[in-house]
Amino acid sequence: MANVAFLGLGVMGSPMAGHLARKGHDVAVFNRTSAKAEAWVAANGGTSAATPREAAIDKKIVFACVGNDDDLRSVVLGEDGAFAGMATGAVFVDHTTASAEVARELSAAADAAGLRFIDAPVSGGQAGAESGALTVMCGGEPAAYAEVEPAILAYAKACRLMGPSGSGQLTKMVNQIAIAGLVQGLSEAIHFGKRAGLDIEAVLDVISKGAAGSWQMDNRGKTMNAEKFDFGFAVEWMRKDLGILLAEGRRNGAHLPVTALVDQFYSDVEAMGGGRWDTSSLIARLER
Ligand SMILES: NC(=O)c1ccc[n+]([C@@H]2O[C@H](COP(=O)([O-])OP(=O)(O)OC[C@H]3O[C@@H](n4cnc5c(N)ncnc54)[C@H](OP(=O)(O)O)[C@@H]3O)[C@@H](O)[C@H]2O)c1
């Protein structure tokens, strides 16, 4: 088991770092709000560092899971950033959902400093992080990937190298495009069923076993019917992801009309006060 560091102990990072500690890794943590790092150490052991640089010193692997591109740059670059503390050959693994551009930018900076960089966004949400059953999509060099994959499997049920730097983020964009239209379709289906006077739980029970079944139907159908959204993957995070992938689509020429429309629907949910609601709250636009 290696000495590792984990930067960013939010909804996702905290349980992921916890799985690393339980697998026997010696984990140094950094969190911008230091109280969270101290609470994590009290619960999991390891050590808390005052800066990303301090956390990264002498670590074979430095993991991060922060908010967006700029948050990532702020923990990686500069005199207090992780790259300043990492030894030659060490690998930085980024679990933030960010742009493919920032992955390529930081991979080039790592290369120049004698380090390696893997972009590794995740799918599976808070529940997947807590149960150690995330799906991880990676971009980078095969040799660096092979070194970090065993550690990632502490909190993942699937982990795959998709291609060169940025390929993990591009794969996560495909994932989010596939989810966006599906959640709107599921919202319209439940909305229609209610108007038709059907027993929605019975409807979901039967149709989930047929061609309409999906992870969203299994895991969100009941709570959408009950209009419960105070958990899960926040609308404001989804809008960040949609902004990133719509910009990428403008660059690569992909047509994403439904995804762009769903982004606008999510802005309606934000205007309703739902920025922190789960993404299944798309149905609230139809029901309220
Ligand atoms: N939640 C999900 O279901 C889910 C699923 C898949 C992917 N993701 C992605 O995973 C990433 C993290 O999500 P999350 O739900 O864990 O978010 P979160 O609970 O809001 O945690 C964000 C973490 O990033 C830190 N951070 C933010 N800005 C920073 C900055 N400028 N400098 C240093 N640290 C900073 C925060 O520190 P503080 O504690 O100081 O605020 C916190 O530790 C996001 O990219 C998200 O899109 C989330």
Among protein residues, the one with the nearest Cα to ligand 1's atom 32 is: 71
| Ligand 1 pocket test target in 65, 99, 134, 266 with most atoms within 8 Å of CB | 65
Q: Is 23 one of the annotated active-site residues of the chain? A: no
pLDDT (0 to 100) of residue 145: 98
Closest Cα partner for 129 from 103, 148, 99, 154? 154
> Model's pTM, two decimal places?
0.96
Measured by CA distance, the residue closest to atom 30 of ligand 1 is 71
Residue 41 sits in a domain whose CATH number is 3.40.50.720
Residues 159 and 174 grouped into a single domain? no
Structure tokens at 164: 């060169």
Q: What CATH code is carried by the domain that includes residue 264?
A: 1.10.1040.10
Which ligand 1 atom sits closest to the C-alpha of 68?
A: 45
Based on the number of CB atoms within 10 Å of its own CB, is 249 exposed (0-12), middle (13-18) or buried (19 or more)? middle
Among 163, 192, 219, give the residue marking a domain's end.
163
pLDDT tens sequence across 100-131:
999 999 999 999 999 999 999 999 998 999 99
What per-residue confidence (pLDDT) applies to 227?
Answer: 97
The pairing of strands 116-119 and 122-123 is unpaired
Catalytic residue among 23, 157, 172, 222: 172
- Among 144, 163, 182, which residue terminates a domain? 163
Report, as ranges of residue numbers, the positions in the chain whose pLDDT lies below 70.
Answer: none
| Number of separate domains in the chain | 2
SS3 letters across 187-236: HHHHHHHHHCCCCHHHHHHHHCCCCCCCHHHHHHHHHHHCCCCCCCCEHH
Q: What is the pLDDT of residues 164-217, one digit of tens each?
A: 999 999 999 999 999 999 999 999 999 999 999 999 999 999 999 999 999 999
CA 33 to ligand 1: nearest atom:
40
Same domain, 159 and 189: no
Cβ atoms < 10 Å from Cβ of 24: 10
- Written as one string, the DSSP assignment of 241-288 is HHHHHHHHHHHHT---HHHHHHHHHHHHHHHTT-TTSBGGGGGHHHH-
Query: Do both 138 and 233 map to the same domain?
Result: no
CA of 34 to the centre of ligand 1 (A): 14
Environment class of residue 156 by beta-carbon count within 10 Å: exposed (0-12), middle (13-18) or buried (19+)? buried
Q: Are residues 18 and 154 in the same domain?
A: yes
Q: What percent of the chain has pLDDT over 70?
A: 100
Residues 139 and 32 occupy one common structural domain: yes
Nearest CA residue ID for atom 44, ligand 1: 67
Q: Which residues constitute the domain of residue 149? A: 3-163
- Is 188 in the same domain as 151? no
Q: What is the identity of the amino acid at 149?
A: E
* Secondary structure (DSSP) of 126-188: HHHHHHT-EEEEEES-HHHHHHHHHHHTTSEEEEEEEESTTHHHHHHHHHHHHHHHHHHHHHH
**Ligand 1 atom closest to Cα of residue 66:** 24
- pLDDT at res. 2: 81
Last residue of a domain, one of 112, 140, 163: 163
Residues with CB under 6 A from ligand 1: 8-13, 31-33, 36, 65-67, 71, 74-75, 96-97, 122, 125-126, 233, 237
Atom 5 (ligand 1) nearest CA: 125
Do 204 and 94 lie in a common domain? no
Q: What is the pLDDT, as a whole number, of residue 119?
A: 99
